[in-house]
Amino acid sequence: MGETLSMALRATDTAGPRFEALYRSCAEDVFAYVFSLLRDRSAAEDVTAAAFERAFRKRRSFNALRGSERAWLFGIARNAALDELRRRRRSAGLVTDPEDPAWALATAEDQDAERRATVRQALAGLDARDRELIALKFHAGLGNAEIASVIGVSPTNAGTRIHRALTRLREACHATS
Amino acid sequence: MRRPDTTLDPLVAEELERLDAALAGSADADPGLEALVRDVRAEAPEMTPAFRGALDDRVRAGFPRARRFAWRPSRTLLVPALGAAATLLIAVAVIGLAGGGGGPGGSGGTGKASSSAGTVSGAAPGAASAAPPVTRESAVPQKSAPVAPPLPLTGGASGRQVERAAQLTLTSAPADVQDVADGVIRTAGALGGYVETSQISSSDQGGGASLRLRVPSARLDDAIARLSELAHVGSLTRASTDITAPVVSATSRLGDARAERDALLRALGKATTDREIASLRERLRLNRSQIAALEGELAGLRRRANMATVDVTVEGTGPKAGAGTGGAWTPKDALHDALRVLEVAAGVTLVACAVLVPLALLAALGALAARGLRRRRRDAALDAA
DSSP B174: G
The backbone region for B102, taken as left when phi is positive above 0, alpha when psi lies in -120 to 50, beta otherwise, is left
B296 assigned to some structural domain: yes
B87 assigned to some structural domain: yes
B323 assigned to some structural domain: no
Q: Which residue of B45, B63, B379 is in closest CB contact with A53?
A: B63
Instruction: With beta carbons under 8 A apart, name residues in chain B contacting A115.
Output: 35, 39
B281 assigned to some structural domain: yes
Q: The domain spanning residue A144 has which CATH number?
A: 1.10.1740.10
Same domain, B120 and B236: yes
Chains A and B: how many Cβ contacts under 8 Å? 133
Query: Is B40's CB within 8 Å of A138's CB?
Result: yes
Same domain, B264 and B355: no
Total domain count, chain B: 4
Looking at every residue in chain A, the average pLDDT score rounds to 80
Same domain, B160 and B285: no
Same domain, B309 and B181: yes
Query: Is B8's CB within 8 Å of A137's CB?
Result: no
Query: Is B45's CB within 8 Å of A36's CB?
Result: yes
Report whether pLDDT(A14) > 90.
Answer: no
Quick: pLDDT tens for A131-157: 999 999 998 889 988 999 898 888 899
Q: Which amino acid is at B375?
A: R
Of B191, B173, B197, nearest to B327 by C-alpha is: B173
Cα–Cα dist B69/B132, whole Å: 78
| DSSP-assigned states of every residue in B303-357 | HHHHEEEEEEEEETTS--TTSSSSS---HHHHHHHHHHHHHHHHHHHHHHHHHHH
Which domain, by its residues, includes B31? 9-43
* Residuewise pLDDT in 10s, chain B (385 residues): 445 556 888 888 888 998 989 888 888 888 888 888 888 888 888 899 999 999 998 888 888 876 655 555 666 667 677 777 877 777 676 666 554 444 343 333 333 333 333 333 333 333 334 444 444 545 444 444 444 444 444 444 567 888 999 999 998 888 888 888 899 999 999 999 999 899 888 676 668 889 999 999 999 999 999 999 888 888 899 999 899 999 999 999 999 999 999 999 999 899 899 999 999 999 999 999 999 999 999 999 988 899 999 999 998 876 654 444 556 788 888 999 999 999 999 999 999 999 999 999 999 999 999 988 988 888 888 877 6
pLDDT at B264 (0 to 100): 92
Which of 21-80 (A) contact B at CB < 8 A? 23, 27-28, 31-32, 35-38, 41, 44-45, 48-49, 52-53, 56-57, 79
End-to-end CA distance of chain B: 24
Report whether pLDDT(A12) > 80.
Answer: no
Same domain, B311 and B277: no
Interface of B with A (CB under 8 A): 2-3, 5-9, 12-13, 15-16, 19-20, 23, 35-37, 39-48, 51-52, 54-55, 58-60, 62-63, 375, 377-379, 381-385
- What b/e sequence results for B13-47 when a residue is b if at least 16 CB atoms lie within 10 Å of its CB, and e otherwise? bebbebbebbbeeeeebeeebbebbbbbeebbbeb
pLDDT at B91 (0 to 100): 67
**Distance (Å) from the alpha carbon of A160 to chain B's nearest alpha carbon:** 7
Instruction: With beta carbons under 8 A apart, name residues in chain B contacting A45.
Output: 47-48, 51
Cα–Cα dist B267/B276, whole Å: 9
Angle at A90 between CA A85 and CA A95, to 5 degrees: 60
Indicate the pTM of the whole model: 0.49
Beginning with the edge strand found earlier in the chain, give each strand of the sheet holding B232-242 in spatial order: B115-121, B133-139, B232-242, B162-171, B307-315, B208-216, B194-201
SS (H, E, C) A104-157: HHHHHCCCCHHHHHHHHHHHHHCCHHHHHHHHHHHHCCCCHHHHHHHHCCCHHH
Q: Which residue of B36, B63, B385 is in closest CB contact with A85?
A: B385
Report whether pLDDT(A105) > 60.
Answer: no
B199 assigned to some structural domain: yes
DSSP strand pairing (B162-171 vs B307-315): parallel
Query: Is A141's CB within 8 Å of B23's CB?
Result: yes
Same domain, B201 and B187: yes
Total domain count, chain A: 1
Same domain, B145 and B281: no
Query: CA separation (Å) from B363 to A26, B88, B351, B352, B366?
Result: 35, 20, 18, 16, 5
pLDDT at B69 (0 to 100): 54
B276 assigned to some structural domain: yes
pLDDT at B167 (0 to 100): 93
Residue B179, SS3 per DSSP = helix
Q: Which residue of A82, A139, A162 is in closest CB contact with B382?
A: A82
* Cα nearest neighbour of A115 on chain B: B39
Which domain, by its residues, includes A154? 2-176
Residue B201, SS3 per DSSP = strand
* A49 CB-near residues (< 8 Å, 6+ apart): B54, B55, B58
Same domain, B122 and B231: yes
pLDDT at A116 (0 to 100): 80
- Give the residue with greater pLDDT, B120 vs A19: A19
Same domain, B227 and B262: no
B121 assigned to some structural domain: yes
Residue B165, SS3 per DSSP = strand
Same domain, B211 and B254: no
**Distance (Å) from the alpha carbon of A4 to chain B's nearest alpha carbon:** 20
Instruction: With beta carbons under 8 A apart, name residues in chain A contacting B368.
Output: none
**Does A174 contact chain B (CB < 8 Å)?**
no
Residue B121, SS3 per DSSP = strand
Query: CA separation (Å) from A16 to A59, B63, B249, B370?
Result: 8, 12, 105, 31
Find the helix or strand (DSSP H, E) in which B212 lies.
Answer: strand B208-216
Cα–Cα dist B356/B349, whole Å: 10
Same domain, B237 and B260: no
**Does A82 contact chain B (CB < 8 Å)?**
yes
Instruction: With beta carbons less than 8 A apart as the criterion, state whether B204 and B349 touch.
Output: no
pLDDT at B367 (0 to 100): 94
B68 assigned to some structural domain: no
Find the helix or strand (DSSP H, E) in which B298 lies.
Answer: helix B274-306
Same domain, B26 and B167: no
